[in-house]
Structure 1
Amino acid sequence: MAVEGGMKCVKFLLYVLLLAFCACAVGLIAIGVTVQVVWNQAINQETVPGSLLPVVIIAVGAFLFLVAFVGCCGTCKENYCLMITFAIFLTVIMLVEVAVAIAGYVFRDKVKSEVNKELQQFMQNYLKDNTTAPVLDRWQKKFECCGTTNYTDWENIPGMGKDRVPDSCCINITVGCGNGFKESTIHTEGCLEKMEIWLRENILLIAAAALGIAFVEVLGIVFSCCLVKSIRSGYEVM
């Protein structure tokens, strides 16, 4: 028995939300892939708590897309079981997202420690490994930084010394600009601090996106429960 009255409006709104879920799912997968690429460039492939974050994000995105498909089928066919499944899965996704947020907060110091350690290792291998130098140069250019803590970190790197830093540390990058540098011609801040500043500047945007996704998911649960109630009422009348 087809839903009637106000439930038709709820059904339409649920379709709109399902499209939003699909968009969120694609967005999460894209974010997860981006974070994974950035993470691989920042540290080695050792398994640490933070390294699981992009994998979880991608998995949640893929699962959300599957859930949206189930919800679409349930809404189209007005199937009681599919709508119940949709509501349960959506609730599970919200719980996973909360768990990920908590894990990210709990392990934030561990992630910072790992990034610090790997940046120092990259510096040690800067003149030895052709694959390490481009990655570190890219980070120093992007964040306009030099070294881990500050530019003096390069003094302890074999082959560098007190009067030399990578050209990527320079404010105006030219070939050899890091040789015989002056403090006024290079970025003196460390990359670890600059990364933290970047995260703090973007945390509000990340939080707003997370709250937006959570709001859409809550609406999806509410509308699906309303539709389930209407479908069950229709069965009882029959």
Structure 2
Amino acid sequence: MAVEGGMKCVKILLYLFLLAFCACAVGLIAVGIAAQYVLSQTISQGATPGSILLVVIIAVGAFLFLVAIVGCCGACKENHCLMITFVIFLSLIMLVEVAAAIAGYVFRDKVVSEFNDDFRQQMKNYSKQNHTAFILDKMQENFKCCGAANYTDWENILLEPRGRVPDSCCINVTHNCGVNFKVKEIYTEGCVEKIGVWLRRNVLVVAAAALGIAFVEVLGIVFACCLVKSIQSGYEVM
């Protein structure tokens, strides 16, 4: 039985929200993958609160896309069971997103702490000239920083010749510019604080986005419930 009257408007609005959900789902997956890539370039340890949170965001994005498809099929066919399933799953996703947003806020300093420990560990492996050295060089160049707390951290690293800093610390990077350097020619600020600010800001952006999507989902749940009620009323009339 087709819905009538004002419920047709509700149905159209639900379609629009479902399209928005699909876009949000793709956005969550893209943001999660991008953030995971960036985090893997800064924190090389195994499972951490930051990396686990990003995996949850990616999984929620994928699940939200599937749930949006279910909702679209349910609204199109005016199927009571599909719409109930849509409402239940969307409610669960909303709760997970709120929990993920709260976790992101709570663990934002933990992520920075992990980065500090990992950065210092990678500094110890810098002299091996492996992938770690490449990552550190890119971070120091991109964030215009040197060392963990400041450039003097490199004094404890066995670089040859002694007393040098990586060339990536130089304001104007040239070959061996870190040998016999002058302080005014290098970046003196540490990377942990500069990158830490960037990490905190982006974690909060992701958390805010998750809360924003959750708010939109609440409206979607309301419209879906209205449609379910209309479909159920139609069955009772029949």
TM-score higher than 0.5: yes
SS at the partner of 1:127?
A: helix
Aligned length: 238
Aligned to 1:44: 44
What is the aligned-residue RMSD (CA, Å)? Answer: 1.9
Question: CA contact under 8 A between 1:154 and 1:162: conserved in structure 2?
Answer: no
* Alpha-carbon offset, residue 107 of structure 1: 3.0
Identity %: 71
Aligned to 1:35: 35
Q: Which runs of 5+ in 2 are unaligned?
A: none
Give 2:60's aligned amino acid.
V
For residues 161 and 229 of structure 1, what CA distance do their matches in structure 2 show?
A: 77
For residues 50 and 201 of structure 2, what CA distance do their matches in structure 1 show?
A: 20
Give 1:90's aligned amino acid.
L
SS at the partner of 2:128?
A: coil
* Alpha-carbon offset, residue 215 of structure 1: 2.3
| Deviations 1:136-156 (CA, angstroms, capped at 9, x unpaired) | 111112211111111111110
* Alpha-carbon offset, residue 205 of structure 1: 4.3
Aligned to 2:80: 80
* Alpha-carbon offset, residue 170 of structure 1: 1.7
Q: 1:162 to 1:102 in 2, by over 3 A?
A: farther
* Alpha-carbon offset, residue 59 of structure 1: 0.6
For residues 115 and 203 of structure 1, what CA distance do their matches in structure 2 show?
A: 14
- TM-score (structure 1 length as normaliser): 0.92
| Deviations 1:115-156 (CA, angstroms, capped at 9, x unpaired) | 111101110111114111111111112211111111111110
Alignment of 1:119-130 (within 5 A): 119-130=119-130
| Deviations 1:166-198 (CA, angstroms, capped at 9, x unpaired) | 111122222222222222222211111001222
Alignment of 1:91-130 (within 5 A): 91-130=91-130
Question: CA contact under 8 A between 1:74 and 1:83: conserved in structure 2?
Answer: yes
For residues 171 and 123 of structure 1, what CA distance do their matches in structure 2 show?
A: 19
- TM-score (structure 2 length as normaliser): 0.92
Alignment of 1:53 onto 2:57: no
Q: 1:211 to 1:27 in 2, by over 3 A?
A: same
Alignment of 1:68 onto 2:68: yes
For residues 206 and 106 of structure 1, what CA distance do their matches in structure 2 show?
A: 13
